[in-house]
Amino acid sequence: MRSGLSRSCAVILLVGSARAQPPAVHHVIVDTDFALPPQDDGLALALALGSPEIDIVGVTTVAGNFNVARANADALRMLEIAGRDTIGVYAGAGRPLAHQKDAYATSHYGKWWSDDPAPTPPGGFAKKALERESAVDFMARTVAARPGEVEIIAIGPLTNVANAIRQHPGFAKAVKRMTIMGGAIASLADGAGNATPNAEFNIWVDPEAARVVFRSGIPIELSPLNVSRKTVFDRASFDRLAQSGSPLARLIAAQMGPRFGRDTTYHPHMYDEVAVASLIDPTLVKTKRLIVDVDDSHGINYGVTVAGTEAWPGAEGVPTASVQYDIDNARFMQLFVGRIGK
Ligand SMILES: [Ca+2]
């Protein structure tokens, strides 16, 4: 009788504690070629800031969409608008490891090669300054202090992470996981590139760095263009977000409203936002385990990600990654609007 009673008590206690469980919290460094919305990095950071599953321990910047001066200024301003400027911004690499500015780079999308000063963000530059520590030193120190606990959401070229791996022996083993927006997988549907016919922009800007990261052994969750092409930021979602009135929703409405207003065909894909959303709710995406490697030979496939189910000549020993290839866009947009609009 007594043991029966205590068993039921134990069951009740277990059920009670399961119900009271807060969501699992990911302690993350957001590594980003940042710019304010409508840029996807800005929308992705807004989603992360609004999500209790994500504890942002720092933002590290890298040259990519724009140069690192703009990434720094815009990231500081976004955190200020969100009332979250206790999160530090750490300046990272201003140039890729080896990729040089050339006529193709300067005549196509991206300003990673630019030395221009940062333009004034909406509402002016943030009052808070950059942290003094570099992005790589911050990453290395943070990961070493909490081995196996810190994750990286990498939504720009992978220069900073490659530098951390190369400069700090132990770093790769101590990173819990990376969620990367990058690559285009030609062996899966919707796998064309966007920087060259087969190369995706983030990987193409710094192929040497990406190759170091994909070969490092850090567990990788990859959001390539294949999954981005299944997404759409539709007008109804924009309207719901704009009406919500949160500080970041107001910023997004101001930055994107004019385009949504004048262009009825405007329904952008989501890129970096998918990486963040998949960390918050992995059930949003479908994945396959594939070996993923990067071509860093300076030929026609510079910066192309190549993926397969089993090793092929040249890719022996390269680890597998979890590669996203599909997403439930309706649930994704519900999460996106709900979190930023609250
Ligand atoms: Ca980005």
- Per-residue pLDDT, averaged over 252-271, amounts to 96
**What pLDDT shows up at residue 11?**
44
Q: How close is the Cα of 6 to the center of ligand 1, in Å? A: 54
Is 183's pLDDT higher than 90? yes
The two tokens of residue 34 are 């940042």
What is the mean pLDDT of the segment spanning 269-278? 98
Mean pLDDT of 195-215: 98
Instruction: Please check whether residue 216 is in contact with residue 17, taking contact to mean a CB–CB distance below 8 angstroms.
Output: no
300-329 burial, b for 16+ CB within 10 Å, e for fewer? ebbbbbbbeeeeeeebeebebbbbbbbbbb
Tell me the percentage of the chain whose pLDDT exceeds 70: 94
* 40-92 tens-digit pLDDT: 999 999 999 999 999 999 999 999 999 999 999 999 999 999 999 999 999 99
Which residue is it, tokens 């890719």? 315
How far away, in angstroms, is 4 Cα from ligand 1 center? Answer: 57
Q: Which of 9-13, 285-289, 328-332 has the lowest mean pLDDT?
A: 9-13
**In this structure, are residues 326 and 190 in contact, taking their beta carbons and an 8 Å threshold?**
no
Number of H helices, E strands in the chain: 14, 9
Distance 63 CA to ligand 1 centre (A): 10
Neighbours of 240 (CB within 10 A): 17
Long-range contacts of 227-230 (CB under 8 A, 24+ apart): 227/274, 227/285, 227/324, 227/325, 227/326, 227/327, 228/181, 228/269, 228/270, 228/271, 228/274, 229/190, 229/269, 230/190, 230/326, 230/327, 230/329
Distance (angstroms) between ligand 1 centre and the Cα of 18 equals 37
Tell how far the Cα of 20 is from the centroid of ligand 1, in angstroms: 36
- Residue 245 is predicted with a pLDDT of 87
Å from CA of 11 to ligand 1 middle: 47
pLDDT per residue over 109-155, tens digit each?
999 999 999 999 999 999 999 999 999 999 999 999 999 999 999 99
Instruction: Give CA–CA dist 71/133, Å, rounded.
Output: 16
Given pLDDT bands bounded at 50, 70 and 90, which one contains residue 7? very low
The two structure tokens encoding residue 332: 């994704």
C-alpha dist (Å) from residue 160 to 14, 41, 51, 87, 151: 43, 16, 25, 18, 14
CA distance 326 to 225: 10
Torsion sign across C-alpha atoms 290, 153, 72, 139: negative
Give residue 178 CA to ligand 1 midpoint distance, Å.
15
- Compute, in angstroms, the gap from residue 277 CA to the centroid of ligand 1: 14
Measure 202 CA to ligand 1 centroid, in angstroms. 7
Query: What is residue 24's predicted lDDT score, i.e. its pLDDT?
Result: 83
Identify the residue whose tokens are 């890298």: 62
The residue that leads in pLDDT, 16 or 217, is 217
172 in Cβ contact with 178 (< 8 Å): no
The answer for 148, left when phi > 0, alpha when psi is -120 to 50, beta otherwise, is left
Question: pLDDT (tens digit, 9 = 90+) per residue, 25-35?
Answer: 999 999 999 99
Q: What is the rounded CA–CA span in Å between residue 43 and residue 163?
A: 26
Give the per-residue pLDDT at 19.
Answer: 60
Q: What are the tens digits of pLDDT across the range 209-220?
A: 999 999 999 999
How far is 108 from 166, CA to CA, in rounded Å? 30
| CA count, 13 A, side-chain hemisphere, 264 | 0
- pLDDT at residue 80, rounded to an integer: 98
Å from CA of 243 to ligand 1 middle: 26
What pLDDT is stored for residue 295 in this prediction? 98
Q: What is the distance in A from the centroid of ligand 1 to the CA of 304? A: 17
